[in-house]
Chains A and B, each alone.
Chain A
């Protein structure tokens, strides 16, 4: 992780030192997932690409770029060059700006012709998107339009149907409606980020006249960062939760010293109000599936008393894990991530104290611990960092906090049983295993992009690819949902097999770490082999490709009775199972099959 590329970053520094930064990132020895990113531009995109490369590398994605010729976005979308077709983009970014708007209404135009202009401008883009998604079946990111640098009608420009400002607003509205009804299509909200940046600074006329830059040099890192956030979210690299401090982070003052009655929270005074709004902002994240936890140097009783302050909005039961003690914060942080079965770097550390942030940064590499500033800045700093950019919202996201809570309760119950199998039986587990259903596509794709640990091949799939697989009879696709006495864990395991004659190759086998050691993988294998038998498959081939994160499944196929037939020097292994030799495993799970 390069600090200089985390929000709040210094745009000028990035512009000046981008070549050096690029060299350093490329030589840091980290393994990154490779993605082909095509940029179709309506003006100069070179620096946008360079900055995008920096931010993506920092997110663990190594982009390989295709750049359209200058201002050829329309032609190349409708008639892709051979180079673009061969490039096979994983993602396409259409960089257009208000400079690409063909014609604005003039004051003398009738309302009908204004409407006509609007529709023909919109149709141009609709044709592009339709053509690209048909040809490439990959995520598309489209800029909406920033406002132009003058208003002929002054304030009226925003509401008169002949106003350019109004025209742009209408186009943006149409883009939004398209995004609402099309999967794998994302708007890069340039209208918002240019306003946030300051429109007068966003536009730099000289750079437009001289170099055909549709935005100022200083705005380019801001734009590229915003695009990088969308891309990393689509490819499953969002953060998953917060680990929060209490004193002077969620309220003003120190509860242990000042007493509950004297901490600053609530509408009574300005500082209390700032903390209250921050608490509200944090609480809203629960609906996105972001898990909330506490890591505070406090006596536990004081911490809970502070959270129970009548004017506060965050209550103890909003948090999955509350670590309030006098241990070092990094130790608590690691325990929290272990209890949640999440990687430490998927949690964001929020603490007003620079010394604590430093400890976390030094002890746990890869964890974001943003420099918060003062309480009035907290929301902006956290929000603009884009940790939880929500490209896909699945119903599981909304229930995720509940699921993590149930998991922690299960951990506590476990302590009451003498042996683990008694515990598992006591959980009354029920699994539903069946083929991919239309309503599950978003979640399946999300899981394929997020799972790192229980993942045999670390293949990533877009929603579009998942849908294609579910319709192709060459593929065996099953997914599993696990319920128990504490609740529904949701969709937690996905398997994709690929039949070639009498062989099946297992392309993907993943499971969420929420349901580790619950025997779900054995129930899934039973089901998978049953389907293979039905399809007269003689041999099943399994593959394990080691990464930094998936060593827990190195012996997966061995445990399921496969024989190792190949291993290379990197530890990649290939395994075989003769279908008829498979021994069905008994599991403590009642399985409800949903026919092939």
Chain B
């Protein structure tokens, strides 16, 4: 899977989870950029990404992710 394909899937997930069709995420997107992305929605988000890519993030990864770019890199390393 290419990074673009990962981002396409991530966009889909973000749009569903935050109920906003206009969301486009990129490497530097953080929680501050998206309305409603708080620690609780983060849980839903992580779980949706895990299901979608059929992976499980390591606990330390979840804690250390700084932005969507980190997220995408971990996904690309794992799948």
Interface residues of A (CB under 8 A from B): 12, 15-20, 23, 44, 46-47, 206-207, 209-211, 213, 217
Q: Kindly provide the distance from the CB of A43 to the nearest chain B CB, expressed in whole angstroms.
A: 13
Residues of A within 8 A of B16 (CB): 16-17, 20
Whether A217 pairs with B19 at a CB distance below 8 angstroms is no
Some 26 contacts from A to B, beta carbons below 8 A apart, are A12-B51, A15-B47, A15-B48, A16-B13, A16-B16, A16-B17, A16-B44, A16-B48, A17-B19, A19-B17, A19-B18, A19-B36, A20-B16, A20-B19, A44-B40, A47-B40, A47-B43, A47-B44, A206-B59, A207-B43, A210-B43, A210-B59, A210-B63, A217-B43, A217-B44, A217-B47
Does B6 make an interface contact (CB < 8 A)?
Answer: no
Residues of A within 8 A of B68 (CB): none
Max chain A Cβ within 10 angstroms of own Cβ: one of B18, B47, B56, B63: B47
Q: Kindly provide the distance from the CB of B36 to the nearest chain A CB, expressed in whole angstroms.
A: 7
Q: Kindly provide the distance from the CB of A515 to the nearest chain B CB, expressed in whole angstroms.
A: 48
Does B74 make an interface contact (CB < 8 A)?
Answer: no
- Bound-state Cα–Cα, A17 to B16, Å: 6
Residue of B nearest to A22 (CB): B19
Residues of B within 8 A of A19 (CB): 17-19, 36
Whether B51 pairs with A23 at a CB distance below 8 angstroms is no
Whether A209 pairs with B43 at a CB distance below 8 angstroms is no
- Bound-state Cα–Cα, A213 to B43, Å: 10
Residues of B within 8 A of A18 (CB): 44
Residue of A nearest to B40 (CB): A46
Q: Is the interface of B mostly helix, strand, loop or mixed?
A: helix
Residues of A within 8 A of B44 (CB): 15-16, 18, 47, 217
Q: Kindly provide the distance from the CB of B14 to the nearest chain A CB, expressed in whole angstroms.
A: 11
Residues of B within 8 A of A23 (CB): 19
- Bound-state Cα–Cα, A494 to B19, Å: 46
- Bound-state Cα–Cα, A206 to B59, Å: 7
Whether A211 pairs with B43 at a CB distance below 8 angstroms is yes
Residue of A nearest to B38 (CB): A46
- Bound-state Cα–Cα, A473 to B43, Å: 54
Residues of A within 8 A of B18 (CB): 19
Residues of B within 8 A of A20 (CB): 16, 19
Residues of B within 8 A of A17 (CB): 16, 19
Residues of B within 8 A of A207 (CB): 43
Residue of A nearest to B36 (CB): A19
Residues of B within 8 A of A206 (CB): 56, 59
Q: Kindly provide the distance from the CB of B53 to the nearest chain A CB, expressed in whole angstroms.
A: 14
0/1 string, B21-64, CB within 8 A of A gives 1: 00000000000000010001001100110010000100100110
Q: Kindly provide the distance from the CB of A26 to the nearest chain B CB, expressed in whole angstroms.
A: 12
Q: Kindly provide the distance from the CB of A487 to the nearest chain B CB, expressed in whole angstroms.
A: 54
Residue of B nearest to A24 (CB): B19
- Bound-state Cα–Cα, A211 to B57, Å: 14
Residues of B within 8 A of A12 (CB): 51
- Bound-state Cα–Cα, A244 to B9, Å: 44
- Bound-state Cα–Cα, A217 to B17, Å: 14
Whether A210 pairs with B62 at a CB distance below 8 angstroms is yes
Q: Kindly provide the distance from the CB of B62 to the nearest chain A CB, expressed in whole angstroms.
A: 6
- Bound-state Cα–Cα, A430 to B19, Å: 60
Residue of A nearest to B44 (CB): A15
- Bound-state Cα–Cα, A20 to B23, Å: 14
Known: A15-B44, A210-B62, A217-B43. 10 other contacts (CB 8 A): A12-B51, A16-B13, A16-B16, A17-B16, A18-B44, A19-B17, A23-B19, A46-B40, A206-B59, A210-B59
Residue of A nearest to B20 (CB): A19
- Bound-state Cα–Cα, A211 to B46, Å: 12
Residue of A nearest to B43 (CB): A211
- Bound-state Cα–Cα, A140 to B48, Å: 34
Residues of B within 8 A of A16 (CB): 13, 16-17, 44, 48
- Bound-state Cα–Cα, A207 to B17, Å: 18
Residues of A within 8 A of B17 (CB): 16, 19
Q: Kindly provide the distance from the CB of B78 to the nearest chain A CB, expressed in whole angstroms.
A: 15
Q: Kindly provide the distance from the CB of A41 to the nearest chain B CB, expressed in whole angstroms.
A: 13
Q: Kindly provide the distance from the CB of B49 to the nearest chain A CB, expressed in whole angstroms.
A: 11
- Bound-state Cα–Cα, A551 to B31, Å: 51
Residue of B nearest to A206 (CB): B59
Residue of A nearest to B13 (CB): A16
- Bound-state Cα–Cα, A328 to B71, Å: 56
- Bound-state Cα–Cα, A293 to B70, Å: 60
- Bound-state Cα–Cα, A381 to B48, Å: 27
- Bound-state Cα–Cα, A210 to B63, Å: 9
Residue of B nearest to A12 (CB): B51
- Bound-state Cα–Cα, A149 to B13, Å: 31
Q: Kindly provide the distance from the CB of B16 to the nearest chain A CB, expressed in whole angstroms.
A: 5
- Bound-state Cα–Cα, A290 to B24, Å: 52
- Bound-state Cα–Cα, A47 to B44, Å: 9
Whether B19 pairs with A209 at a CB distance below 8 angstroms is no
Residues of A within 8 A of B19 (CB): 17, 19-20, 23
- Bound-state Cα–Cα, A207 to B57, Å: 12
Q: Kindly provide the distance from the CB of B12 to the nearest chain A CB, expressed in whole angstroms.
A: 10
